[in-house]
Amino acid sequence: MGAGGIGSRRAGIGRIGIGVLAALVPFLSLSARAQSPSTAGDGNSGLTSSRTTDARQAYDEGQRAESMGDWETAFRAYQEAAALSPDESAIQVRAQLARSALAQQRTERAEKQLLSGNPALARAILQSALQVDPSYTVAQERLQQLAQVDTFTTLPSDNLASTLPAIKATAGNRSFDYNGATHGAYEELARQFGVTAAFDPELQDRQLRFRVSDVDFDTAMRLLSEETNTFWFAVDTKTFFVAADTANKRRDYDPEIKKTILLPAAETNDEMTEAMRMVRDIVGLRRTELDLKTHSITVRDTPANVALAEAILKDVQQPPGEFLLEVDLLEVDRNAALNLGITPPSTASTFSLPTGVIHVLRRRAFSHHAGAAFGKPRRAGVAALLFRTCWQPHGQFPPD
């Protein structure tokens, strides 16, 4: 008989056991009422006490949740009622019934995750089922089977992102001032936000002081996980799972998703192969598959790693850049430019001074310095001399 057959047979036995418990509850309830002098004799002695009232309210809440199939809420309510009224056998039986039903429900949910191709999440759900009911043999056997089977052989065809649950905590902000161990901190946080905490059996406690004010659920969980070096994820809408933040535990428990990413800029097979190798080496993806026909890469890893791989590929897989160049051809009317007073030169001439002219300029400059006392008229004459010298053809210096 295969693994699926064992699971089905054990699950059927579990349903029979729960049905027997449910059938016995009314008789146990009547027997408890007949034997209890506090409820039969004196109607004011027990019912007027605060603990009895609270127990009755919790018990009623559990029955309402049970009628709607919400075993998470029913189990918490029955547990509270049983703690407040430990001598009430009917409440104790109801609490045990809810315990078994919740463990069975989580085990069935783990089977669905396994069929969806997510063994890590299935393993965590089974661990949470055993935390609720350590004696539930179906979850024990299924967990042992998962440890022996290589579940990473092929990629399933469906997208696993849609199968991952999301926690639905009570809205609003809370404040915490907790001094104790890791398990207790998560349980206190779960209690205030109306959810349940489940833990990896190997998670070790460490003493901490968790003090924050006015934070929502996500912020509180992020701060607590950073302080305790743990990570968490949702098992279902009302339960989260906590494990140590190590590479081995990440590999064992981190939920996986599968996503196909297009490669729009890769044109050749070598370019697509290089893109897959690059993103696999940078992110450390667990599994990748390249489809040369569709120019796409299918990756499967944790949600954070898949998002990082997608961001990297989106950044590097850009189509070739394009630019637009505008050129304006302008025509200039020369007559219009002349009318505006714009007369650009059409030619230019250059020449060199003969050696004789240079000697004459030096002598005249010396004479200028010697007669500097004569004032501005003399300097003006020297300037005129230089002007005429520069513009005389053939280097002939005109007489004074």
pLDDT tens-place string over residues 60-88 = 888 888 888 888 888 888 888 888 888 88
* pLDDT confidence of residue 384: 52
Alpha helices in the chain (DSSP H): 3-35, 37-40, 50-67, 71-84, 89-115, 119-132, 137-148, 182-192, 217-228, 247-253, 269-283, 303-316, 334-339, 355-370, 376-391
Residues 304 and 310: their CA atoms lie apart, in Å, by 10
Let me know if 50 is exposed, middle or buried by CB neighbors in 10 A (0-12, 13-18, 19+).
Answer: exposed
* pLDDT confidence of residue 113: 75
Residue indicated by tokens 């898949």: 306
User: What average pLDDT does range 26-31 have in this prediction?
Assistant: 41
The answer, yes or no, to whether residue 145 has pLDDT greater than 90, is no
* pLDDT confidence of residue 174: 94
* pLDDT confidence of residue 227: 92
* pLDDT confidence of residue 158: 43
* pLDDT confidence of residue 208: 92
Return the ∠ at Cα 247 (arms to 246 and 248), rounded to 5°: 95
State the first-to-last Cα distance of the chain, in angstroms, to the nearest integer: 132
Residue indicated by tokens 């009570």: 170
* pLDDT confidence of residue 182: 94
pLDDT above 90 as % of the chain: 12
The answer, yes or no, to whether residue 336 has pLDDT greater than 60, is yes
pLDDT in tens, 305-332: 888 888 888 888 776 667 788 888 777 6
Residues 125 and 111: their CA atoms lie apart, in Å, by 9
The answer, yes or no, to whether residue 5 has pLDDT greater than 80, is no
pLDDT above 70 as % of the chain: 70
* pLDDT confidence of residue 9: 42
* pLDDT confidence of residue 104: 84
The answer, yes or no, to whether residue 397 has pLDDT greater than 50, is no
Fold of 257-316: Ribosomal Protein S8; Chain: A, domain 1 (3.30.1370)
The answer, yes or no, to whether residue 58 has pLDDT greater than 70, is yes
β-sheet bridge partners, residue 174:
215
The answer, yes or no, to whether residue 370 has pLDDT greater than 60, is no
CB of 209 closer than 8 Å to CB of 250: no
CB atoms within 10 A of CB 138: 26
Per-residue confidence band for 32, with pLDDT thresholds at 50, 70 and 90: very low
* pLDDT confidence of residue 301: 83
pTM > 0.75: no
> If you average pLDDT over every residue of the chain, what do you get?
74
User: What average pLDDT does range 50-63 have in this prediction?
Assistant: 85
pLDDT in tens, 183-200: 999 999 999 999 988 888
* pLDDT confidence of residue 340: 67
The answer, yes or no, to whether residue 22 has pLDDT greater than 70, is no
pLDDT in tens, 198-244: 888 889 999 999 999 999 999 999 999 999 999 998 888 888 989 99
The answer, yes or no, to whether residue 29 has pLDDT greater than 60, is no
- Of 113 and 175, the one with more pLDDT: 175
* pLDDT confidence of residue 84: 85
Per-residue confidence band for 20, with pLDDT thresholds at 50, 70 and 90: very low
* pLDDT confidence of residue 124: 81
- For the chain, which residues make up each domain, given as ranges? 3-152, 174-253, 257-316, 355-395
pLDDT in tens, 277-305: 888 888 888 788 888 888 888 888 888 88
* pLDDT confidence of residue 151: 44
- 174-253 carries CATH number 3.55.50.30: yes
